[in-house]
Structure 1
């Protein structure tokens, strides 16, 4: 049976403890705490898609923090965020190339029969599970808008 993403993270926590890798362990514990909090708040057991969505959100937060710390001249804080981001990104799937993303957008537009901006929600609903964690949703949205003439 294939190991789920959540189980892989939990196994990596144990490995980091054994290796006494304090920085990695801290980030992994932060991830597991976030997963547990989400499960408690929503009263659900997260599947791989839910875990990916949370990891994607955490990665986005780190990227924004890095940018703000660099602008503020806080390089030591930016470096710590980069280290956390590297651990988080290890669990995210390979990012989509521009060509792959364009192909998925075209497929979703065809599949939903979208013809105008009013159909954008249906297209995004079709795309989200397929690109979650593999592309920035803001960029996906911009590409869909451009295709639908928005």
Structure 2
């Protein structure tokens, strides 16, 4: 089932079950997807939809860090709940071991030997792990492997 249909079904279910928090997140994601679709002027592919979902998750992670710094426990709990809902629509995340294996294979494929080759390695890895791993995590593993 494509993401838009899944979101519509889940939105109906959330309305029936009176799950306000879930409904707010689903509407937010639908809105972000619709805005991206208007911006591009065409239907979104699954990859493009995943990019939008990843961006939504990243925004919430950044907000979470800021709220934690400010000791706003009420908002921290709200953001964590939103992130849990969003995670149901994202593909399963790769473990550190799986990600490290992809990093090592890509370094060999690209022929990278030093940190100056980092751009080539990151450019080759990111399409492989799109939506399945955080870019910062990938970056950290690449730096460690090239050191």
In which range does the TM-score fall when normalised by the shorter chain?
0.7 to 0.9
The residue number in structure 2 matching 1:24 is 22
Number of aligned positions between the proteins? 147
Structure 2: unaligned runs, 5 residues or longer: none
Structure 2 residue 79 is the aligned partner of structure 1 residue 76: no
* Cα RMSD (Å): 1.8
Tell me the TM-score normalised to structure 2 length.
Answer: 0.88
In the TM superposition, residue 74 of structure 1 has moved relative to its aligned partner by 1.6
Give distance in 1, aligned partners of 2:59 and 2:143.
Answer: 24
Q: 128, 137, 140: which one pairs with 1:139?
A: 137
Give distance in 2, aligned partners of 1:124 and 1:26.
Answer: 34
Aligned 8 A contact 1:6 1:48 in 2? no
Give distance in 2, aligned partners of 1:45 and 1:118.
Answer: 38
| SS at structure 2 position matched to 1:96 | coil
In the TM superposition, residue 46 of structure 1 has moved relative to its aligned partner by 1.6
Give distance in 1, aligned partners of 2:119 and 2:42.
Answer: 25
Change (3 A) 1:89 1:72: same
The residue number in structure 1 matching 2:104 is 106
1:5-16 residue pairs with structure 2 within 5 A? 5-16=3-14
Structure 1: unaligned runs, 5 residues or longer: none
* 25-34 or 94-103, larger mean C-alpha shift: 94-103
Tell me the TM-score normalised to structure 1 length.
Answer: 0.86
- Runs ≥4 residues deviating over 6 A: none
